[in-house]
Amino acid sequence: MTSVANIDEVETDVVEIEAKLDKLVKLCSGMIEAGKAYVSANKLFVCGIRDLSQQCKKDEMISSMLTFIKHNEQMLISSFNLFQILFDQAQRSIKQQLHNFIKDDVRKFKETKKHFDRVREDMEIAQVKNAQAPRNKPHEVEEATSTLSITRKCFRHLALDYVLQINVLQAKKKFEILDAMLSFMHAQYSLFQQGYNLLDEIDPYMKKLAAELDQLVIDSAMEKREMEHKHATIQQRVSDFSYDDSKVEFNVDAPNGVVMEGYLFKRASNAFKTWNRRWFSIQNSQLVYQKKLKDSLTVVVEDLRLCSVKPCEDIERRFCFEVVSPFKSCMLQAESEKLRQAWIQAVQASIASAYRESPDTYYIEHLDRTASPSTSSIDSASEPRERSARGETILQRIQCLPGNEQCCDCGQADPRWASINLGILLCIECSGIHRSLGVHCSKVRSLTLDTWEPELLKLMCELGNSVINHIYEGSYQEQGLKKPLPSSSRQEKEAWIKAKYVEKKFLKKLGSTEILINGERKSERRWSVKKCRRHNSATTVPKTRRRYRQEPGSTSPSTLSSAAAKFRRESLFCPDELDSLFSYFDTGSGPRSLSSDSGLGGSTDGSTDILVFGSVVDSVTEEECEVSEDSSGEAELEAEPETSDPEDIRDLHPGMLLYKASKARNLPVMAEALAHGADVNLVNDEDEGKTPLIQAVIGGSLIACEFLLQNAADVNQRDARGRGPLHHATYLGHTGQVCLFLKRGATQNDGDDDGQDPLSIAVQQANADIVTLLRLARMNEEMRESEGPFGQPDAFSEVLISPVTNHCHGRWFFFSSFQGNFSTIVSQSVTRPPLKSSAVYTGPISS
């Protein structure tokens, strides 16, 4: 039984080892296949490193590492070939050798076992038959005994062979398995030994790279902390300031030549006037766009020197501006007002830069010859040479003002840029800094490249660098500061400009002077504003003068109508009125000098305690301030007081100072009040809710109105009686101011508390000039409503400005004959749909 048990144990062991060896062979096959794939993948990986080294040339550290790997590519491939040798050895030593052991020895053992089991079963059957043989049948007993003897002998012989086979298999099993494992281990050893020998030579480089990597990790952590700190700082600044858009900047001197780029909506030139979003950029003195970033560029403007740019407020869409060239115009739309201003300024700066790089007068002449009416609204299309000559004259006049021969902020000679809401001249670098402040602080224009309205030119001649610097630089010397020079860095200039105009660090305290009475210094108890006296520049105009002084509660439409009827003129738009609003200045008058009357601060005569603003300016010549009348042709009465009514010093604040100065037509004092933070839309509840703009209308100064509008005055803000600036200008018969307010989008359809709209007021006063303007504006609105968003460009400005400013025999005229049917004149210029009959003035007005 012991031998049988041993045999059974051996048989079980053989079955198990066969299964394990068979599994090992299969795993080895999988390893070999995966190894071959691994070698192939490694070779492809090396090729990828080679390609990456071409892409990462900008990073010195990564590039050096990848270049080193590229140069040692053959060495890496050799190391991968060692893996191939390992897998071949595994193929021979494990897979093939063990497979042969299973196939030959184990299978032979299993066949011997089967034969042994059959013989054993035969012997057991013979033993059973021998035991069953009966005694009374000798023949069967003999046959059973003989069969048992033969079977037993065969079994014993086969059992010896089977035991021998078992012993041989047990011995060979140890040999085959150990030999296969040892061969595989030798292959592994050879792999790593040879691999070590191959890579040992790059060990110093790897150690050096590891040290650099450690330092890189440290630097990266420090950089991350710095970026997190900057991120927190920026977030804090963002939370401190409220604005709609991120800061938009452009760079004329960008290394890649792209001054500015971004998405804009472009109006198509097809019949439907569709708007499409395109990627625009200003580069190489061209305006280009593309539908997608990979598409080719489409040139909108071939040469920016031949174009001009202007905002468009007369279309339905917001934030639109137009780029006009001699051959075509392109209507564009930005996403916000800040972006629109940035694009306009970028185009203007690119134009200026193009002229600096190649100042060819041909382009200027060509622009004059081919300019569209919308870009030359203040000139006749037939007078380009006269326009050019006048432009130079205007430039000279503005530059002849005190301080205007150099930049207001750095002193650079021959400034060619202006801030129209401040009234100063700037150099190109300072103008760029002013642009970055935003249009709420400074509106920048070019003296040579932009179109200038006459009232804006007169506004520039009312102020000037000296006047504004007396305001904004009043105390910088007392603070021990130095003004930047033309050679100063941009950072110094930018810091100075921000401190001057944004932070306003150099302003003197408002109303800080004292007077000497009976040998003692006493502070003033009252204050007033010096009124600027004006005279009529037209030599052929009758000296008709009138005075408008409104007392609270004493004005009625009938009273004003009768007063206006008294001074009604016989002709429409007489020369003095047109000259005050639209002409470029009398060439024989010479440059205007600022006097103490147009200065800043306050002074007294020593005999009174009244502080008079606008009567003293240090370092400015003392002569009478006389400028051409700029409202509607009527000058002030000769007996008008020189100052405004005195006010209690306790009521002195920037808003009230602006309010009084607006009526007094004293622009320097108005500028000083705005510098001290005056609310340009202040509502004076003690004076029927009037605003500074309404006061400027009452004072009769179109230039004061223009100055307030340039500084964000609301053209439609009403007083307590429901009258806006347009109502007051109509009551007073100030045609020039009516023109200005209509150009600035004043609403004329709303009535005041008496139910009177501006047109009704003008009809009551029998003022044909203003009736004509208001009806023309109303007709223009109905045209736009009837045509919808796809109508032709607005012709109102062309009819209002261009015909008015044509010069004929020394006089300014509107139309040769206006008493006929005005609708026929409109139909000559543009074809329109039928209009409402109420929109057109078709005959003279009767009182």
pLDDT at 610: 66
Q: How far is CA 24 from CA 20, 28, 414, 656, in A?
A: 6, 6, 94, 101
> What angle in degrees, to the nearest 10, is found between the helix axes of 138-199 and 107-132?
160
Is the predicted pLDDT of residue 285 greater than 80, yes or no? yes
3-class secondary structure, 721: coil
3-class secondary structure, 581: helix
In a domain, 275, yes or no: yes
**Residue 348 sits in the same domain as residue 463:** yes
Which band of pLDDT confidence, cut at 50, 70 and 90, is reported for residue 178? confident
Which band of pLDDT confidence, cut at 50, 70 and 90, is reported for residue 509? confident
262 CB contacts (<8 Å, ≥6 apart)? 279, 280, 281, 339, 343
In a domain, 132, yes or no: yes
pLDDT digits (tens, 9 = 90+) for 595-627: 333 335 555 444 456 666 666 443 333 333 333
The whole-angstrom separation of Cα 325 and Cα 342 is 19
User: Any idea what the CATH number is for the domain that residue 763 is in?
Assistant: 1.25.40.20
The whole-angstrom separation of Cα 780 and Cα 468 is 39
597 CB contacts (<8 Å, ≥6 apart)? 530, 532, 533, 614, 615, 624, 625
pLDDT at 343: 93
Could you tell me how many residues make up the chain? 847
More confident residue, 472 or 325: 472
> Which residue, 171, 188, 205, sits at the end of a domain?
205
**Residue 492 sits in the same domain as residue 390:** yes
Contacts by 187-196, CB closer than 8 A, 24 or more apart? 187/85, 187/86, 187/89, 187/90, 187/93, 188/86, 190/82, 190/85, 190/86, 191/82, 191/83, 191/85, 191/86, 194/82, 195/79, 195/82
Its sign, for the CA torsion 406, 409, 412, 418, is negative
In a domain, 847, yes or no: no
pLDDT digits (tens, 9 = 90+) for 470-496: 999 988 888 888 899 999 998 899 999
**Residue 575 sits in the same domain as residue 449:** no
**Residue 491 sits in the same domain as residue 548:** no
The whole-angstrom separation of Cα 76 and Cα 54 is 19
The whole-angstrom separation of Cα 781 and Cα 769 is 19
The whole-angstrom separation of Cα 406 and Cα 425 is 8
CA angle 107, 111, 117 (to 5 degrees): 140
pLDDT digits (tens, 9 = 90+) for 211-260: 888 888 898 899 999 998 888 888 877 665 544 455 567 777 777 778 89
Which band of pLDDT confidence, cut at 50, 70 and 90, is reported for residue 379? very low
pLDDT at 495: 92
Is the predicted pLDDT of residue 365 greater than 60, yes or no? no
Residue-averaged pLDDT of the chain: 73
Tokens encoding 454: 């006459």
More confident residue, 390 or 667: 667
The whole-angstrom separation of Cα 224 and Cα 217 is 10
Which band of pLDDT confidence, cut at 50, 70 and 90, is reported for residue 423? very high
pLDDT at 183: 81
Mean pLDDT of 264-286: 90
The DSSP-derived string for 84-103 is HHHHHHHIIIIIIHHHHHII
pLDDT digits (tens, 9 = 90+) for 342-351: 999 899 888 8
The whole-angstrom separation of Cα 794 and Cα 779 is 11
The whole-angstrom separation of Cα 544 and Cα 789 is 46
Is the predicted pLDDT of residue 75 greater than 80, yes or no? no
In a domain, 263, yes or no: yes
> What angle in degrees, to the nearest 10, is found between the helix axes of 60-71 and 2-55?
120
The whole-angstrom separation of Cα 504 and Cα 473 is 9
Which band of pLDDT confidence, cut at 50, 70 and 90, is reported for residue 290? very high
**Residue 194 sits in the same domain as residue 323:** no
In a domain, 807, yes or no: yes
Tokens encoding 115: 């034969």
Cβ atoms < 10 Å from Cβ of 580: 28
Phi-psi region of 733 (alpha: psi -120 to 50; beta: other; left: phi over 0): left
In a domain, 125, yes or no: yes
Report the domain count for the chain: 3
Contact 534, 776 (CB under 8 A): no
Helix residue ranges, H only, 665-767: 667-675, 692-699, 702-710, 725-732, 735-743, 758-764
pLDDT at 586: 35
Its sign, for the CA torsion 486, 492, 494, 496, is negative
User: Any idea what the CATH number is for the domain that residue 197 is in?
Assistant: 1.20.1270.60
Mean pLDDT of 831-839: 37
**Residue 181 sits in the same domain as residue 312:** no
More confident residue, 618 or 179: 179
The residue type found at 354 is A
Share of the chain above pLDDT 70, in %: 67
| β-strands 444-446, 417-419 pairing | antiparallel
**Residue 551 sits in the same domain as residue 490:** no
Name the nearest CA neighbour of 466 among 399, 522, 393, 368: 399
Strand partners, 288: 281, 299
**Residue 764 sits in the same domain as residue 832:** yes
**Residue 377 sits in the same domain as residue 482:** yes
Tokens encoding 691: 């605003």
> Which residue, 185, 205, 225, sits at the end of a domain?
205
Q: From the centroid of its chain, how far is CA 791? A: 30
**Residue 489 sits in the same domain as residue 562:** no
**Residue 407 sits in the same domain as residue 478:** yes
pLDDT at 745: 87
Q: How far is CA 430 from CA 86, 254, 359, 493, in A?
A: 75, 18, 21, 7
DSSP 452: -
Which band of pLDDT confidence, cut at 50, 70 and 90, is reported for residue 364? very low
Q: Which domain holds residue 52?
A: 2-205
Its sign, for the CA torsion 728, 730, 731, 733, is positive
> Of 95-99, 117-121, 801-805, which one has max mean pLDDT?
117-121
Mean pLDDT of 196-210: 80
Which band of pLDDT confidence, cut at 50, 70 and 90, is reported for residue 358? low
**Residue 424 sits in the same domain as residue 334:** yes
> Which residue, 163, 183, 205, sits at the end of a domain?
205
Is the predicted pLDDT of residue 826 greater than 70, yes or no? no
pLDDT at 63: 66
Contact 764, 561 (CB under 8 A): yes
The whole-angstrom separation of Cα 3 and Cα 562 is 147
pLDDT digits (tens, 9 = 90+) for 762-800: 999 888 888 888 988 888 888 777 665 445 445 555 545
In a domain, 459, yes or no: yes
In a domain, 242, yes or no: no
Q: How many CA atoms lie within 13 Å of 13's alpha carbon, on the beta-carbon side?
A: 11
Least confident of 76-80, 123-127, 188-192: 76-80
pLDDT digits (tens, 9 = 90+) for 641-684: 666 667 766 667 888 889 888 888 888 989 999 999 899 999 99
